Amino acid sequence: MSSVFALLLARESRLLFRRPAELANPLVFFAIVIALFPLAVGPESQLLQTLSPGLVWVAALLAVLLSLDGLFRSDFEDGSLEQWVVSPQPLALLVLAKVLAHWLFTGLALVLLSPLLALMLGLPPRCLPVLLLSLLLGTPVLSLLGAVGAALTVGLKRGGLLLALLILPLYIPVLILGSGALQADLQGLPTAGHLLWLATLTALAVTLTPFAIAAGLKISVGE
Amino acid sequence: MSRPFLEAVALTCERDWRLLFEALDLRLMPGDMLQIVGPNGSGKTSLLRLLCGLMQPTAGEVRLQGEPLAAQRGELARNLLWIGHAAGIKGLLTPEENLAWLCALHQPAERQAIWQALAAVGLRGFEDVPSHRLSAGQQRRVALARLYLDAPPLWILDEPFTALDKQGVAQLEAHLAGHCERGGMVVLTTHHTLENKPSGYRELDLGQRAA
């Protein structure tokens, strides 16, 4: 069972690396959105610094959302999902591996890129640990929740907008806690509370959403 | 009389408010080959998907070894090989990688066995070419190579002969007939008339039923 998990991770990574453009898209989007703000708001470092926690988080959230639309699309179209559903392997485990692979190459890459962009917005370097930690805890939740929406909309021809409408409301708690932690850190307040709540969401998402994703995929495949 | 392996009882299928078939019964014993024929849109693929448990019937039920399918999902999964119209072949992966993964979903296969299966379907030398570079017929052969690996007893195949050349069709027919003679079961849809029929061959015409 765990070997299938590892094999699927390897397969998904291989697929992502053979389509490097798709890997780069969310990262480029993230970088450009953040780079637009200093241009639009003006180079007042105080104002940008105050805004930076929210800006980084909103940009990361939209970048993850952008990357999710196609998460299951090609597997749906080429019949891979049918093979997963009829196989003896637990579907929830397979989708967890799939989303984990996706997160490793989009979510984790966003996390690694974020310090550079946050410094561009004037976030003081002492806030970087909290920035990294909050994104590290928050982006898996974004990927997993988004995968639930992607699973439900995979059968639709233009599911992109519907996906955003379904999923964005669910992203609100993550956004509040994530940017809240960073805001608190910026003002020199303790951040443990925010981060622990964020970690709770991560634990809940990792344990519960695979079942919801699997159920959504079964519905989409059964149409 | 012994119990059928797979059985459909009073199966009714409705799609988009159109009745495809109703009160359909079928029984499948080891050694049987069931060819489903009928005009386009008569519900052939839907019937196969119902038998695989991919879709839920509007009424009636599918039974595996006498038990309703819902309670037998694991059992069906261990005994079933399903190749749909889209066969789960990734264009970006090579035939070998595709087969290794599709086998791993059931039981992992040795590299040696995969190469032998690819050679058996005439793809020797194409093991490491990305599948999207192959022709439609060759891609179909990649999917069909699964039938040459350690395969479970029940094969449900949707249009397996699509895009195959004459020699490929004859070879596949012989392989399917051999599988049935060895006690396996095949359910397939095709418009093509089979030349090589095993003793357990039957035909189900969905078009006539509707008429």
Predicted local distance difference test score (pLDDT) of residue B194: 85
Predicted local distance difference test score (pLDDT) of residue B171: 92
* Residues in chain A, pLDDT under 70: 1
Chain A residues with CB-CB distance to B88 below 8 A: 78-80, 82-83
- Contact status of B78 with chain A (Cβ, < 8 Å): yes
- Give phi and psi for A59, each to the nearest 5: -65, -40
- Contact status of B104 with chain A (Cβ, < 8 Å): yes
Q: What Cα–Cα distance (Å) separates residue B205 from each residue in A44, A105, B42, B111?
A: 76, 50, 9, 41
Instruction: Report how far residue B101's alpha carbon sits from residue A12's, in angstroms, rounded to the nearest whole number.
Output: 11
Residues of A with CB under 8 A from a CB of B: 3-4, 7-8, 11, 14-15, 18-19, 74, 77-80, 82-89, 221-222
Instruction: Report how far residue B22's alpha carbon sits from residue A213's, in angstroms, rounded to the nearest whole number.
Output: 32
- The whole-chain average pLDDT of chain B stands at 87
CA proximity to B161, closest of B124, B191, B186, B205: B191
Predicted local distance difference test score (pLDDT) of residue A1: 60
- Contact status of B152 with chain A (Cβ, < 8 Å): no
DSSP β-bridge partners for residue B62:
B8
A85 closest CB neighbour out of B54, B85, B108: B54
Indicate the pairing of strand B59-64 with strand B6-15.
antiparallel
User: Does the structure show a pLDDT above 90 at B53?
Assistant: no
Inter-residue contact A154 to A33 (CB < 8 Å):
no
Residue of B nearest to A85 (CA): B54
CA–CA min distance A98, chain B (Å): 14
Predicted local distance difference test score (pLDDT) of residue A174: 95
Percentage of chain B lying above the pLDDT 70 cut: 98
Maximum distance among all Cα pairs of chain A, rounded to whole angstroms: 59
Average the pLDDT over B33-62 and give the result: 89
**A122, amino acid identity:** G
Predicted local distance difference test score (pLDDT) of residue B4: 85
Predicted local distance difference test score (pLDDT) of residue A217: 93
User: Bigger pLDDT: B210 or B124?
Assistant: B124
Residue with tokens 């995979």: A154
Inter-residue contact B150 to B109 (CB < 8 Å):
yes
Predicted local distance difference test score (pLDDT) of residue B211: 42
User: Does the structure show a pLDDT above 90 at B1?
Assistant: no
Domains in chain B with CATH codes: 6-209 (3.40.50.300)
Indicate the pairing of strand B154-158 with strand B185-189.
parallel
Indicate the pairing of strand B59-64 with strand B67-68.
antiparallel
A80 closest CB neighbour out of B55, B80, B88: B88
Average the pLDDT over B122-144 and give the result: 90
Average the pLDDT over B119-124 and give the result: 89
b/e code A116-127 from CB counts within 10 Å (16+ = b): ebbebbbbeeeb
Residue of A nearest to B97 (CA): A11
CA dihedral B1, B3, B5, B6 (to 10 degrees): 100
Instruction: Report how far residue B48's alpha carbon sits from residue A98's, in angstroms, rounded to the nearest whole number.
Output: 27
Chain B residues with CB-CB distance to A4 below 8 A: 104-105
- Contact status of B52 with chain A (Cβ, < 8 Å): yes
